[in-house]
Amino acid sequence: MKRIQLLVPILLFCCAIGIAQEAEKKTVTSIYNEALGDRTAYENLRQLCKTTKGRITGSTKADEAVEFTYRLMAAMHLDSVYKQPVMVPRWERGKKESAFIRSARLGKKGLAVAALGMSVGTGSGGLKAGVVEIGSLSDLEKLGMEQIRGKIVFFNRPMDPAMVNTFASYGGAADQRTLGAIEAAKFGASGVMVRSLTTALDDFPHTGVLRYTEGVPKIPAVAVSTMGADLLSQWLQDDPELSLFIRTECHDHGEVGSANVIGEIKGSLYPDQIITVGGHLDAWDLGEGAHDDGAGCMQSIEVLRLFKELGIRPKRTIRAVMFMDEEVAQRGGAEYARQAELNGEKHYFALESDRGGLLPLAIGISAPAERLVKMMELKRYFEPYGIRITEGGGGVDIGPLKKFGTPLSSLIPDSQRYFDYHHSANDTFDKVNNRELQLGSAAIAALVYLVDLYDL
C-alpha cells in the first residue's frame, strides 16, 4: 500500500510533464502552420527590395530602409518601436565602372567589374597598366617589387569548389579581397583586380569591403566576374605583355548619421531580460539585398508577428533589431552592445539570421556548457522539420554581445546557392522562395519560444 502511495505522485508528475510537452509541441506546430500559411514577411521583403534597392550604409536608400522598417513595426502595435542612432561610413560608387583588356596579339575585350567597397577611385582618366596574376598574398613576396611595381595585381584564387561548406570556402578566399590592396601596394602596385568570391561561373561581379591601413598608399581595387577572371587568365597565358584599363569614380564621404531600428514585445515576468533576433538592414548597392540580408530582417520582424498573432506571451522581452552597417564597418552591432552596457541591459539570448532566406537545415548555438547541453535537447521539437541543433553559432552584429556572456545563435540554411547572389546584382527578390523564407521564420520563432519557456 505504501508503495502505491509513493507511485501515485510520481505518476501524476510524469503525466503533467507529458501533457506540458504535448502543449508545447502544439505551440511549435501552430508557429509553423501560421508561418507557412502566410505571406506577410514575403510581401514585406518585396517592398524592402523594390523600394530601397542599393541601400548601402550611409546612403539615401539606407535612410529610406530605416523609415520603412520603423513604420512597418509601428503599424504592428508592438510595445515599443524606436531608432537607435549610430554614425556610419558613407561611400559612393559613382559612375558605372569600366574595364577592358588590350592585347597587341589578341585585340580588345571588355570585362564586367565592380569597385570594392571603400576603394579609392581611379578618377575619370582611369588606370592603364600591365598585369601580374597571382594566387595568394604570399605570392607577392615571391615576385618582389621589381616585378610588381606599377602594375595591376590580379588575384585569381577561386573559392574552393571541393568544400561542401561554402562559407568556409568563402573564408578561405576572402583575404585577397579584404587585404589585397594593402599588400599589393607595399610592393608598388598601381591597382588591384580580384576574382569575384562566388561558386558560380557567371558575368556578375561580386563586390565587398576592402581595408586600407595607415602608412600604405591607397590604390584602386575592383572585383571582376568569374567569367572575366577566366578570360583574363587565358589571355595572359597567350600574351603576358597585355595591358588592363580600369576606370572607377568612387569616393569616401566620411561619416553620416543613421540608425538601428528596434521593435519589442515586453516580457510578462522578466521584462529586463532581453532576447534579440536580428538581421542587417544595409546591403551592397549593386542589388536589392534580398538574401543579404533583407531576408534576415523580415524573418526577425516575423517572429514578433507570429508571437502576436498566436497570442504567445513571452516571459522575457523579445527584440527584433534591424542592424545598420554590417557590410562596411559593423557600427550598428557595436553601438547596440555599447548602449546595452550603458543602460545595464541583461541580454539573455541572441540570434542572427544573415545567411540568406534559403532552406533552413540547422540552428547553431554557442553558449556556456551547462546552457548548451539544455539547448541541444530542444532538437526533438525541430526534427519533424528537418532542422538540426548544432554547436557553434553567432553573427557579426550580435558578436559584441558575447562579452556579456550572452549565448549566440544563428539560423543555418542550405548554403550551396547563397554565393551565387552574395554582394552582386544577382541578389534580387525573385531569388527568394516564400516557403523557404517562412520555414526559417518559424524555426527562429520556435527556438525563441522554447528558450524563453524553459528558461534555457
The reply to whether 9 falls in a domain is no
Quick: pLDDT tens for 274-283: 999 999 999 9
My answer on whether 141 and 186 are in the same domain is: yes
Q: What is d(CA 57, CA 93) in angstroms, rounded to the nearest whole number?
A: 12
Domain final residue, candidates 223, 249, 275: 249
What's the CATH code of the domain at 433?
A: 3.40.630.10
Beta strands 251-265 and 316-323, pairing class:
antiparallel
For residue 7, name the pLDDT band (cuts at 50, 70, 90).
very low
pLDDT computed for residue 14 by the predictor: 38
Residues 328 and 409 in one domain: yes
- As for how many domains the chain has, the answer is 2
Do 224 and 315 sit in the same domain of this protein? no
* pLDDT, tens digit, 9 for 90 and up, residues 374-397: 999 999 999 999 999 999 999 999
Residues 298 and 399 occupy one common structural domain: yes
Do 64 and 118 belong together in one domain? no
Query: Is residue 130 in some structural domain?
Result: yes
Residue 373 within a domain: yes
Tell me if 161 sits within 8 A of 182, measured CB to CB.
no
pTM to 2 decimal places: 0.94
Could you tell me if 197 and 308 lie in one domain? no
Considering the domain architecture, whether residues 166 and 312 belong to the same structural domain is answered as no
Query: How far is residue 347's CA from residue 318's CA, in Å, rounded to a whole number?
Result: 10
Is 3 inside any structural domain?
no
pLDDT band at 20 (very low <50, low <70, confident <90, very high): low
**How far is residue 80's CA from residue 408's CA, in Å, rounded to a whole number?**
23
Burial code (b: 16+ CB inside 10 Å, e: under 16) for 251-290 equals: ebeeeeebbbbbbbbebeeeeebbbbbbbbbbbbbbbbbb
Choose one of 215, 249, 283: the last residue of a domain: 249
Looking at residue 21, its pLDDT comes to 73
Angstrom distances, CA of residue 129 to CA of 191, 205, 219, 227:
9, 21, 13, 21
Query: Are 360 and 412 members of one domain?
Result: yes
Provide the residue range defining the domain that includes 176: 94-249
For the chain, percent of residues with pLDDT exceeding 90: 95
Q: What is the mean pLDDT of residues 188-210?
A: 98
φ, ψ dihedrals at 108, nearest 5°: -125, 140
55 and 156 belong to one structural domain: no
- The answer to the question of residue 56 being in a domain is yes
Do residues 336 and 377 share a domain? yes
Q: Is residue 85 part of a domain?
A: yes
Indicate whether 284 and 154 sit together in one domain.
no
CATH number at residue 173: 3.50.30.30
- The C-alpha atoms of residue 241 and residue 105 are separated, in whole angstroms, by 10
In-domain check, residue 66: yes
- Among candidate residues 208, 228, 249, the one where a domain is terminated: 249
DSSP label at residue 114: E
| Arithmetic mean of pLDDT, 353-369 | 98
Indicate if 244 and 378 belong to the same structural domain: no
